[in-house]
Amino acid sequence: MNVKEILIEPMIPLWLIYLLFSLGGAAVILQYWLTRKRLVRSKALTLALLRLCTLSLLISFLLNPFSLERKEYKVLPSLAILFDTSPSMGLPGRGGKSRLEEARAFLFEGSNPLFNSLSERFDVSLYGLGESMRSLKEEELTRLRVGKKKGDLGEAMRQLSGKASLGLLLSDGNLKWDETPPAGPSLLSLPSGDPKEYRDILIKEVKAPHLAFRGREVRIDVAIKTYGYRGMTLPVVLKEGSRIIAARDIRVTESPAEVTLTLSFTPEKVGQHNLDLSIPAQVGESISGNNRVDLSIKVVRDKIRVLMVSGSPSLNYRFMRMALKNDPSIDLLSFVILRTPSDILNVPIQEQSLIPFPVDTLFSKELNHFDLLIFDNLPCHFYISTNYYGRMREFIREGGGLAMIGGPHLLDGGRYLGTPLGETLPIKLTGKEGYRRDASFGVRLSRAGRTHPVTQLSPDENENENLWQDMPALDGMNLLEPKVFKNVLLEGGEGGSRPLLFADSYGKGRILILGTDFSWKWYMGMISRGKSHWAYLRFIERMVRWLTKDASLEPLQITFPETSGEAGQELEFRIRVKEARSDPHFQGKVQLSVFDSEGVKIESHLKAGQPTGEYLGFFTPRREGIYRIKVELPNGFQEEFLTIGRPIEEREGAPDHKRLKEISTATGGNLFFRGEDLLKEIDAFGDRGKKSFVEEKRSPLWSLPYALFGLLSLLGAEWYLRRRWGLI
Amino acid sequence: MISRREFLSFGLSLTAGFVLSNPKRSWGAPFPQFFFAQLKYRGGEWDPNPRFAEAIIEELELRTSIDALKERRITPLSDPDLYYSPFLYIAGKYEFEPFTSQEREILRRFLTYGGFLFAEDTMGAKGFGFDRAFRAEMKQILPDHELKRLPLDHSVYRSFYLIESVGGRQKVQSYLEGITIDQWTPVIYSQNDLSGAWARDRFGKWIHECMPGGEAQRSSAFKAGINIIVYSLTSDYKKDVIHHPFIKKRQNL
């Protein structure tokens, strides 16, 4: 509709215009009075009128008259049609189609496609809704595929805010959506998929500890959600590799149903346990990948289990036993050989307290239950068959510790030569036993001993060295030669250069040889000097902890956040280098490597923090699985494992129409099913979004040619009449 | 009186035409894993059974895996090497002079931090002589701990032999007394004169009769001696759980 109006917009104040107009009128009256003297009344009046018109016209230009033309335009409401391309939209929907195909057919199929009707009423834009929203052309819809990430509806709403007056969402309800909706258009939703027909078994949630203690029950709480399969019994299996470590059955009584259960097992082996929890895939399951969850549990010992066998009662045994028993983290089982085969018993068995040495039980069945084996001056061949040496070697190779404490029988008279046990020892075997008990001797740290955890009784290097030099003298020594000199930690004897303490690794395990049976003098010797006996106790403690790879002696500590990581999210964790403050060698020499579940190294970075020795490690796992984090130092490395899972939202594929309705309602829209008069409803919502706008056009009248022509005509007519009537 | 070892050494020396000097071991010399270190104190009679060591050490070596030195070492309390004694022994009949405060401190420190003392009243008179002096000293040295009868489930009664009664030259009491600190009993005390039952002359004959039980009482004294020595080197080893079923079975419990 067009509307024209004449309006004024005075260029100067109106009172001034009135004044000018009054002066012009007075001038015209004066002119009339003067011309009346020379002309007849009619002619004088004609000239005065012409002059009045001219002046009025000129003065009226000061009012700045203009014409205003208004034109109103109607605009079609904009409609954003959002196709959810979340992974679940690729799952079966109704009519043998995928949910995405179902959504597409809903718009474009039929004798009068809904899309055409909508195009007539709306300005339609098409979008694909994946992790991010992207604009689509109509012809692209046939090629539209589901993505790998969930559609982020919240972000899409923010982008559509101000652009669309109405949204039409085609989805199964498995979307990313904040509970507080952002500003944006109202959403009308068309659901895909059929919740009643959906069949799936999903491990929804697993609560398992990152850290467990060996020998103590580990409980894993599992929540399982089932769609369909009513009346079936499903096995839930927890496995480590191919070994089943726990299993339970669940009975599905309704659909959908959520069942919680607890699986428990008792880990017997220290270390990283990579487990998988699974339910066998059932016929017709929509998603079989969500029937399995990886778990990584680090099993540590609550107590260090030590098996000590002493060749005879001795002060060395008693003081070492005291040191081990005083440590609450150590569980000691000790055997002392109270009589040798040549000793004569003079009483019946009822009067002895001697018990049989359970060699077979200990060394063939129970050995793996120990962390450390100590042979204290043991003439081994009397009591332990060489057949068990192979088993002992395997025990060490698999991560066990072996300590051999000296004395005249340390090397069993040289009988370890050529045996599997002898192979593990860090000393040269000659087939002979070399032992001296004569002059007392002191000890000193070797080069390796200065930095070795076992002999590092004080963090200060000089203080540590003085501590060892100040240790009471020893009286007996095994004459030993190392395989490699770097394994010698303490030296003593004549000239102070005979190796006394050896430490080495074998396979995953560690071995230590202390070539004296007088280490107890480090305890009582200090007491006799009026000093503390802590050095001996600390030495024994560090010896045990080093041999058993106790975390307290590890050079660094890796701490993960309490919440487990998810694929696609950057993960941050803390690394603490324990010796960094006192040892400048560590500065800048910390290296981080992260490997995915297939062993491929992935990008990671390390950031130094405060205080010194604290680091932050970062990496972004791209997919689920068990990741290996390796931190290397100049003096060793540490590895930890971390399970990365997919968020539950990405594993859940059931159509969630209830949620879709909640989303629609929250935005002021609604959910529509097929049987309803959808178009009518959409129209009702569309009316609210209809808009129009008015266009205004202004044209100044004084600049029109007609105005100039009128003015010139008035002036010309007056000039002509004046000339004719003889006034000019 | 010379020991059999000394006699044999002397004889061999004569045969070889070379007199082997009997090197007197000093405390500076190396220490074998087990030996008796006998306390020499002032007053009373510190060495009532000078020939006690040989027989019990022989018995120890015959029955057990312990490698021991047959001779004993004599030490005053002031000797700092006292701390290296695996088995400190004190015996006497009569009341002795009180220890000095320094001696008491040495003994207190020795006993508190892992040392072991076996004490014997060879007279066996309760409240008199050695018994009175020793109990008084123990009260001074370890005032927070009492010398008490050791119960039958104490490790000393089962460290090697399973014994229920303690023998000796005399049978003043069938049990041992001791001072226990935490799980360790650093002081064991007897009034049965065990060392009197162990003592032999140089011809191998028992010096003392065992009254009233005779040889059975002597045998019991040896068993008790071995148990005390094994206990001093193994502590409460026999309290470990693994021993329980065997010991209970043998005791018909």
Which of the pair, A552 or B40, is modelled with greater confidence?
B40
Backbone torsions φ then ψ of B200, nearest 5 degrees = -125, 155
B114: which chain A residues are within 8 Å (Cβ-Cβ)? 318-319, 322, 523-524, 527, 533
Residues from chain A that touch B235, judged by Cβ atoms under 8 A, are 318, 321-322
The one-letter amino acid code at A395 reads F
Mean predicted confidence (pLDDT) in A425-447: 90
DSSP state of A586: G
Using a cut of 0.80, tell me whether the model's pTM lies above it.
no
pLDDT tier at A110, thresholds 50, 70, 90: confident
Q: Give the closest residue to A103 by CA, choosing from A123, A79, A84.
A: A84
Closest Cβ–Cβ partner in B32, B65, B235 for A339: B65
Asked if A528 lies within 8 A of B82 by C-beta distance, the reply is yes
Name residues whose C-beta falls within 8 Å of residue A25's C-beta, 6 or more positions apart in sequence. Answer: A52, A55
> What average pLDDT does this structure show over A101-129?
85
Q: Which of A342-356, A438-452, A605-619, A642-656 has the highest mean pLDDT?
A: A438-452
- Give A33-68 pLDDT, tens digit per residue: 988 888 888 989 999 999 999 999 888 888 888 888
Residue A563: what pLDDT? 67
- Note the pLDDT of residue B1: 43
Closest CA to B91 of B115, B121, B116: B121
The percentage of chain B sitting over the pLDDT mark of 70, rounded to a whole number, equals 87
Q: What is the pLDDT of residue B8?
A: 43
Q: How far apart (Å, rounded) are the C-alpha atoms in residues A321 and A710?
A: 129
Say what the pLDDT of residue A277 is.
93
Q: Is the dihedral of CA A499, A503, A504, A506 positive or negative?
A: positive
Contact B64 A318 (CB under 8 A): no
Is the confidence at residue B150, as pLDDT, over 80?
Answer: yes
The first and second tokens of residue A105, run together, are: 């057919």
Tell whether the model's pLDDT for residue A611 goes beyond 80. Answer: no
Of the listed ranges A202-206, A326-330, B8-12, the least confidently predicted one is B8-12
Looking up tokens 């005509």, which residue turns up?
Answer: A713
A544: which 2 tokens?
Answer: 């045990």
Query: pLDDT category, A676, cuts 50, 70, 90?
Result: low
Q: Give A695's contacts (C-beta < 8 A, 6+ positions apart).
A: A70, A71, A72, A73
Shortest Cα distance, chain B CAs vs residue A543, angstroms: 21
CA neighbours closer than 13 Å in the CB half-sphere of residue A393: 14
Stretch A407-424: mean pLDDT = 94
Q: Do B250 and A353 touch (CB under 8 A)?
A: yes
Q: Which of A393, A397, A363, A370 is nearest to A269 (CA)?
A: A370
Q: Which helix (H) or strand (E) holds A239?
A: strand A233-240
Of A311, A321, A345, the CB nearest to B65: A311
Closest Cα in chain A to B231: A313
The interface pTM score, or ipTM, of the predicted complex is 0.88
Give the separation between CA A453 and CA A456, rounded to whole angstroms: 5
- Which of 467-506 (A) contact B at CB < 8 A? 475-476
According to the model, what pLDDT value does residue B100 have?
Answer: 95
Q: Which has more confidence, A63 or B130?
A: B130
Q: Decide if B84 and A523 are in contact by the 8 Å CB cutoff.
A: no
Q: How many CA atoms lie within 13 A of A663 on its CB side?
A: 29
Contact A351/B at CB under 8 A:
yes
Rounded Cα distance between A700 and A108, Å, is: 53
The CA-based dihedral angle spanning residues B245, B246, B251, B253, taken in that order and rounded to the nearest 10 degrees: 20
Does residue A643 register a pLDDT over 70?
yes
Q: What is the mean pLDDT of residues A104-110?
A: 84
Q: Which residue of B has its CA nearest to A378?
A: B65
From the list B66, B82, B113, which residue is nearest A313 (CB)?
B66
Q: pLDDT value at position A195?
A: 86
Phi then psi dihedrals of residue A464, to 5 deg: -65, -45
User: In this complex, do B159 and A353 lie within 8 Å of one another by their Cβ atoms?
Assistant: yes
A323's CB contacts (< 8 A; 6+ apart) are A523, A536, A537, A540, A541
What is the 3-state composition of chain A as percent helix, strand, coil, each rounded to the nearest 5? 30, 30, 35
Q: Which residues of B touch A354 (CB under 8 A)?
A: 160
Please name the helix (run of DSSP H) or strand (run of DSSP E) that holds residue A535, with its range, or none. helix A534-547
User: pLDDT confidence of A495, banded at 50, 70, 90?
Assistant: confident
Is the per-residue pLDDT at A446 higher than 90?
yes
What pLDDT does A403 receive? 97
CA–CA distance, A82 with A97 (Å, rounded to integer): 19
CA separation for the pair A423, A417 (Å, rounded): 8
pLDDT > 70? residue A434: yes
Counting Cα atoms < 13 Å in the Cβ hemisphere of B220 gives 24
Q: Does B6 score more than 50 pLDDT?
A: no
Spatial CA neighbour of A66 closest among A703, A711, A712: A703
Query: Over the stretch A554-603, which tens digit does the pLDDT of each residue have?
Result: 778 888 876 667 777 888 888 888 765 455 555 567 889 999 888 899 99
pLDDT at A71: 83
pLDDT at A675: 44
CB distance A317–B233 less than 8 Å? yes
Predicted pLDDT at A564: 66
Interatomic CA distance for residues A212 and A227, integer angstroms = 33
> Which chain A residues are closer than 8 Å to B115 by Cβ?
524
Residues of B in contact with A437 (CB under 8 A): 30, 32
Query: Which residue is closest to B247 within chain A, CA to CA?
Result: A353
Each as own residue / partner, the long-range contacts of residues A703-708 (CB below 8 Å, 24 or more positions apart, any chain) are A707/A57, A707/A61
Give the pLDDT confidence of A498-532 residue by residue, as tens digits.
999 999 999 999 999 999 999 999 999 999 998 99
Cβ within 8 Å, pair B240-A527: no
For the cut 70, the answer to whether the pLDDT of residue A608 exceeds it is yes
Please report the pLDDT score of residue A649 as a whole number.
65
Q: From CA B212, how far away is CA A246, in angstroms rounded? A: 68
Say if the Cβ atoms of B66 and A312 lie within 8 Å: yes
Judged against a pLDDT cut of 50, whether residue A222 lies above it is answered with yes
What is the structure's pLDDT at B23? 35
Mean of pLDDT over chain B: 86
* Poorest-pLDDT segment among A61-65, A180-184, A669-673: A180-184
Which tokens sit at A231?
């009346």
Distance CA A423, CA A511 (A): 11
pLDDT the model gives residue A75: 74
Measured CA to CA, the distance from residue B235 to residue A274 in angstroms comes to 43
Residues of B in contact with A359 (CB under 8 A): none
Question: Is the separation of the CB atoms in A85 and A14 below 8 Å?
Answer: no
> Per residue in B217-235, pLDDT tens?
999 999 999 999 999 999 9
State mean pLDDT over A148-175. Answer: 86
pLDDT averaged over every residue in chain A: 87
Backbone φ and ψ of B99, nearest 5°: -70, 155
